[in-house]
Amino acid sequence: MKVNRHGLIISILLFILFLPILGTALYSMTTSWSGTLLPNGITGKWYVEALRNPILT
């Protein structure tokens, strides 16, 4: 089975480009994250506040 190398390279590049965006989104949903591998808690507080802001909606 022949592998489409261009598709594989593009997939790897897109993964590398989107990894910081995914990391930032994950970090924005944590209550606190310091000195551990996993966050202490998860919250959507900032997203709720942004959706309630009349300037943004």
State pLDDT tens for residues 20-55: 999 998 888 888 888 888 888 888 888 888 889 888
Compute the distance between CA of residue 48 and CA of residue 13 in angstroms, rounded to an integer.
32
Compute the distance between CA of residue 7 and CA of residue 18 in angstroms, rounded to an integer.
16
Above 90 in pLDDT, residue 17? yes
- Would 57 be classed as within a structural domain? no
Residue 14's pLDDT is what? 96
Residue 2's pLDDT is what? 64
Compute the distance between CA of residue 12 and CA of residue 37 in angstroms, rounded to an integer.
25
The model's confidence at residue 57, banded by pLDDT at 50, 70 and 90, is low
Q: What average pLDDT does range 4-22 have in this prediction?
A: 93
- pTM assigned to the model: 0.64
Task: Name the domain count of the chain.
Answer: 1
Domain span at residue 37 reads 5-52
- Would 34 be classed as within a structural domain? yes
